[in-house]
Structure 1
Amino acid sequence: MIISRNLKWRHIIYYTRLKLLYFVALSVSVYVLHEIFDIRQLSIPFNAVATLSTALAIYLGFKNNNAYERWWEARKIWGLIVNYSRAWAREVLTMILPNGEKNEERELLQARLLYRHIAFVNALRVFLRRKYDYNDTNIKEIVEVKNGYGEVKKFLSDAE
């Protein structure tokens, strides 16, 4: 999950407006019942609130720790992908030796391998962020359309 560091108040209020309105209405109604109508029969003991608050704090602490652990593990795995990508690119550039072929052919092969790897890493990044630009009505059209060999062939080399 990517979160920007500069959240705007209008975005926060927009996404929480229903819950915000509910709790404002609840708070106003409790205040009106307590202060204006002088209804004071409902009281909550302090021990119950303290016990529930402690349990909630422990629960939220574990949830926060779990989320941080998942983020840290994902960061380590992404770092491994970056390091292995660099090592693989270095091996492609140094280990593909000319077999009687011209320099241009070897460089084209190296570039094609590296660009395919970059495309794979970029596709993985886009998939993991899960940002979709389509809605539920368009998803049926996307799923129903099958990519035949003719559409995919232009992205493949002759050997594939």
Structure 2
Amino acid sequence: MTVTTNTNTNTNTAPAEPDSHDSSTTAPPPFTDTTALLRFLYQDLSRISQVAADDILLHRADRDLSSPPLPPVRGKRAVQAHEDALIAATGGTLVMEVHHVQADEHFGTVLGTARATARGQADLAMPFCGVWRFVEGRAVEHWENAMDAAAMARWLALAGSCDSGC
């Protein structure tokens, strides 16, 4: 499943990359700026392990929906599994429509709309803001932010329950 990115301002393109997202066998493309790194990643979220540091922390969008809050997802493999599960929960229909990327060598933000479809329910169209922290050109921390994390969690739960047929 490829997560597509729609941008009007994409002037930096990343080198072509094999489809495999096993970072142990696939070298990430060389990024000289984090804007290009983020554009590359949002074209296909399954690439996160290719741009992440081994000890990356991911703060989930639904982190505050439980008490106590959910802890961050820790480590490249766990973060990759989290992204893969998010893609799977949408039945492979997830599209991260990017509207704006701003980044420097330390931090980055991505504003856009997460879109997905599921049989038997209204389409998902949720504004998001991804916040990133980088060290030496690698993503070391990521905060997922959805405009309405509770509504998005409900949508994902319903989409997952429709896998057996709605």
Q: TM-score, normalised by structure 2?
A: 0.20
**Which has more helix, going by share of residues?**
1
Structure with more of its chain in strand, by fraction: 2
Structure 1 length-normalised TM: 0.21
